[in-house]
Structure 1
Amino acid sequence: MITVVIGAADQSVAYELQAALAEMDGIEVQFVVDSTPELAAAVLRLDPDVVLVHDQLGPEPALQTVRDLSLRRPACAQLLVTGSADTNQFSMAMDAGARGVVAFPPAYEDLRVRIAAAGEWAHQMRRILAAPAEGGGMPGGPGRARVISFTGSKGGVGTTTVATHLALDVLRNLPGHRVCLVDLDLEKGDVSGILEVRHRTSVADVAKVSQDLSAQAVGDAVVLHESGLGLLLAPVDVRDIEAVDPQSLREVFAVLRHQYDLIVVDAGSHVTPAQAAAVELADEVVMLVTPDVLALRGLRRTITQWENLGVRKESDVHVLVNRVSRQSSVSIETIRQLTRAPILSAGLPAMFRRLEPVINSRAPLELRDDVWWRALRVVGQEVQVVPGGGTAETPPRRDGRRRSRRRGEDAGQATLEVVGILPALLVVLVVLWQLALVGMTAIWSGHAASAAARAVSVGQDPTAAALGEMPGSMAGDLSVHTSGDAVTVSLRVPVAAPGLASFPGGIETTRTVVMEP
């Protein structure tokens, strides 16, 4: 199946292209747009195989849009639709990055051949870019780095710690890998604090020159950590934040994808234009939550805002539960019921006291607890950060010996605490059952009062008539009172089951007696 997005401001052009493609087997038109901004958003969101761009599409020049999309989606084949398919037009389209030119109005067979060729090229490019690099490298290979964005449902859930430690661990276990950590928590970026890095350049500096961005400019802004990790850090001066907008970030990430094998992004916990761009551009998005109500509310709120902005659907977000322990009041199973987003099976253990020394000393690699690193590697495998099936060696102690595995070392690992919710579930069931008994008591009381009123009207015993409408186990809880032309029946509500016990008082029902002539 070849997927196609059409960009044409003229509705007649769009209709004719869509109608022609609808008659072709194996071709699906995903979206039709009438402006260049909408076309860019649709291509980035849907990642089609082929894009048809009408040369009259605006407001930005169509060839400029082709050039931009070729940088952001290198495996997407673009065809320029034009009414003047001369040599000059063809040459300009090729220079911009298009795969060919389609004359309008198109001949059916010519359009079919060009779409098929463009689709085959796109599929082949995807296979090449998805193939592992030589030497067991990452999916994506050179020229197509994998981008993983980590976000937090609220502040303090450990987003920066997890993103930084995972990037360092990948680099430690794949020494030849090129890894870059980008800090897009622009207002409160803490990556430089965790790694004790001083910097004068930041992501804002490259954003300011994004209109004429070069690999050299990005390379000069990246700070090289002693571990070999590349760092593109948040600006020190809060006034520089305004320079970091979605358009500039797209240009920056397009260059970074060609320079690195893996890009890890700390996108912070606040929904900003920069965070939205990082979420939209990422191959995988991981939302960190902690097992508490505030974090779960933040998860729901953030994903709703992303969906409203059209940058990421809930089903395309991975949820990672951090600080899980057997004492957690909210289980992973409970979180799973509150969101449609897939929950990563590798929850991270609650081990802040063991992480605190290395965070304060700004030396993450000094942490020798293998439980933490193993959990991070499982997370990496689930989101395809590290090669599937690979296992890293246990970090050695400072004296060179392997750390022995202690019994109970994984006490903080995430488990499905079903037993923990059983008491609350039982309480809910008991309350519902008791409410049902209250309702049934009210119904029986009404039936008994009506029977007693009829009995009085014909000169019979009202108590006997009322008892005749009652279950035998409820007879002892019934009382009948006659006053003038009215009959009142009082029936006590049973506790747990009829005949066992009753609440004091009762449900009273009064019926008017209509005397028979």
Structure 2
Amino acid sequence: MTTRILPVVGDADAARSITTLLSQLPDAEPAGPVGDSTSLIDTLARLAAESVEELPEVVLVHERIGPVPALELIREVALRFPAVGVVLVTTDASPGLFSAAMDAGARGLVGLPLSYEELAQRVQAAAGWSVGVRRHLGPGGDVFTGPGGTVVTVSGAKGGVGTTVTAVQLALAAQASGRTTGLADMDLQSGDVASYLDVQFRRSIVDLSTIQDISPRVLQDAVFSHQSGIGLLLAPAEGERGEEINERSVRQVVSALRNRYEVVVIDCGTQMNSANAAAIEMADITLLVTTPDVVSVRAAKRMVRLWDRLQIRKAEETVTVVNRFTRNTEIQPPLVERITGTRVSRVTIPANFKELQASVDAGRMQDLEAKSTVKQALWGLAGELGLVKIPETGEKQGRFKGDRGSIGVLRGRSKSR
């Protein structure tokens, strides 16, 4: 049987060396090397869209690939394309890295400089595993083939600043514009997304905490389909169960959501733990919600510094949203930007709780009136962040009233640090 092998190597010299050695393996059919993580995912998605059988049996990932780090890339490939055996090529063959690579979903590890015998053994083992998985999956196997969506995390500088309202309205705006949208509640001890959207639920993110490989079918079983069209992954009803969610499971969950939806909004609440820290690190856009008062702005500054110390997110990669803003307040957005070192969104959310009260008390934020200035501002923020589809010329204008002139996409950093 011929084994198709796809090397993923950014360095030209290393690519030549690996390709030369692969061509000497018996029954091996090495493809031309792929130079970065984005090209790899695009290539595999294109092949999987035709058939699982079109995928290579083995993917070799070099340790210095980018922009997504090697272990993160292996995790994404293992999640989206479980019929592909991934082997990590690295100079560090320590037990610690071996364990981390296996946890990410690799089927083997090959040390540098390359040895013919070791490479042949690892490729053969990964290929055999791949063939077995394909036999199990059968035609049209259960794999993710989507392009991968935009992940936005929403955190609060402190409690009560409007984090959940912001997250919910951003998700509603993206869904209403025609984007497939998921909303995850990772305020694990006290999440209220279900209360704001009038949802009674049995399944939650905890149901995914012990699953090693989250397939599309497994994810679908845990997601609640809301009447608005949003897919909801909710926090546990029993707050103490939030401790069952760790960094590894969050990374799997976020990757699964990213590959199912065009837009994923994650409510991270105000308390930092390893779970929502992982979500913030993986996000394309990170929002920090504050109100224009001394206590909240100081809390925002502390949060930004905490993220920087933990190497989760740099200040300049964070977008601060000023909620409950009034023109005569002493603390204006430029001052917030200067104090926190973040980028403050051009859209500010007005202070008008009276507009929200009826919808909040009824637990039906989806019914907030279109003329609400708060809703217009939040949907305008969604436009500024690039979360909504822009209407074609000739379509009705004003669907996202308040977002004119705010179409610039605010992307966070690349996945590599």
Identify the TM-score tier after normalising by the shorter chain: 0.5 to 0.7
What is the deviation of 1:185?
0.5
Q: Give the aligned partner of residue 203 of structure 2.
A: 201
Identity of aligned residues (%): 28
Please list, as runs of the form range in 1=range in 2, the aligned pairs for 1:254-273 lying within 5 A after superposition. Answer: 254-273=255-274
Deviation at 1:166, TM superposition (A): 1.3
Aligned to 1:163: 167
| Pair 1:187-2:189 in alignment | yes
Is the CA contact (8 Å cut-off) linking 1:67 and 1:96 kept in structure 2? no
1:229 matched to 2:230? The reply is yes
- What letter corresponds to residue 341 of structure 2 in structure 1? R
CA distance in 2 between counterparts of 1:53 and 1:256 reads 29
1:58 aligns with 2:101: no
* Partner secondary structure for residue 151 of structure 1: strand
Cross-structure match for 1:151 = 155
In 1, distance between residues paired with 2:112 and 2:329? 59
Residues 440-474 of structure 1, C-alpha deviations (whole Å, 9 max, x = no match): xxxxxxxxxxxxxxxxxxxxxxxxxxxxxxxxxxx
Unaligned runs of 5+ in 1: 5-25, 45-50, 71-77, 98-140, 397-404, 411-517
Q: Which amino acid counterpart does residue 104 of structure 2 have in structure 1?
A: D
Per the TM alignment, residue 181 of structure 1 is displaced from its structure 2 partner at its CA by 0.4
Q: Within 2, Cα distance between the matches of 1:359 and 1:296?
A: 25
Shift in Å at residue 385 of structure 1?
Answer: 1.6
Q: Which residue of 2 aligns with 1:494?
A: none
CA distance in 1, matches of 2:164, 2:170: 10
- Deviation, 1:217, is 2.0
Trace 1:416-495 onto structure 2 (pairs within 5 A): none
Q: 1:312 to 1:42 in 2, by over 3 A?
A: farther
The change in CA–CA distance for 1:362 and 1:246 in structure 2 (over 3 A counts) is: same
Q: How far is the alpha carbon of 1:52 from its aligned partner?
A: 5.2
Match of 2:218 in 1: 217
Task: Calculate the TM-score normalised by the size of structure 1.
Answer: 0.54
Correspondence for 2:380? 378
1:23-34 equivalences under 5 Å are: none
**Would the alpha carbon gap of residues 287 and 39 (structure 1) be closer, same or farther in structure 2, given more than 3 Å must change?**
same
Residues 248 and 65 (structure 1), Cα distance of their counterparts in 2 relative to 1, 3 Å cut: same
Residues 370 and 394 in structure 1, CA contact (< 8 A), matched pair in contact too: no
Q: State the Cα deviation string for residues 343-379 of structure 1 (Å, max 9, x = none).
A: 1111111111111111112222322225334322332
Q: CA deviation at 1:69?
A: 7.4
How far 1:338 sits from its partner (Å)?
0.8
Kindly state the Cα deviation for residue 395 of structure 1 after the two structures are TM-superposed.
6.5
The answer to whether the 8 Å contact 2:293/2:331 transfers is yes
- The structure whose Rg is larger is 1
CA distance in 1, matches of 2:341, 2:240: 38
Deviation of 1:202 after TM superposition, in Å, equals 0.6
C-alpha contact 1:152 1:288 (8 A) present in aligned 2: yes
What residue number does 2:343 align with? 342
1:88 equivalent to 2:126? Answer: no
Deviation of residue 234 (structure 1)? Answer: 0.5
Instruction: String of CA shifts for 1:56-115, please: whole Å, max 9, x gaps.
Output: 2332527x6178278xxxxxxx99745323433234467899xxxxxxxxxxxxxxxxxx
Distance 1:92 1:319, change over 3 A: farther
What does residue range 110-129 of structure 1 map to in structure 2 within 5 Å? none
Q: Please give the per-residue CA displacement for 1:458-505, whole angstroms capped at 9, x wherever unaligned.
A: xxxxxxxxxxxxxxxxxxxxxxxxxxxxxxxxxxxxxxxxxxxxxxxx
Once residues 92 and 246 of structure 1 are traced to their aligned partners in structure 2, the CA distance between those partners, rounded to angstroms, is: 29
* Preserved contact between residue 55 and residue 82 of structure 1 (Cα < 8 Å): no
Q: Any conservation in 2 of the 1:370–1:395 contact (CA below 8 Å)?
A: no
The alpha-carbon distance between structure 1 residues 81 and 257, as it changes in their structure 2 partners (threshold 3 A), is: farther
Kindly tell me: are residues 243 and 149 of structure 1, through their superposed partners in 2, closer, same or farther at Cα, counting changes over 3 Å? same
Distance 2:129 2:299 in 1: 42
Q: What is the match of residue 243 of structure 1? A: 244
State the partner residue of 1:353. Answer: 354
Deviations 1:122-156 (A, max 9, x none): xxxxxxxxxxxxxxxxxxx9231211000000011
Counterpart amino acid of 1:65? A
Q: Which amino acid aligns with 1:304?
A: R
Distance 1:261 1:245, change over 3 A: same
- Using a 3 Å threshold, how does the CA distance of structure 1 residues 159 and 216 change in structure 2: closer, same or farther? same
* Structure 2: segments with no counterpart, 5+ residues: 1-8, 12-34, 37-62, 76-87, 131-144, 404-417
User: TM-score with structure 2 length normalisation?
Assistant: 0.66
TM-align CA RMSD: 3.6
Contact 2:197–2:366 (CA<8 Å) still a contact in 1?
Answer: no
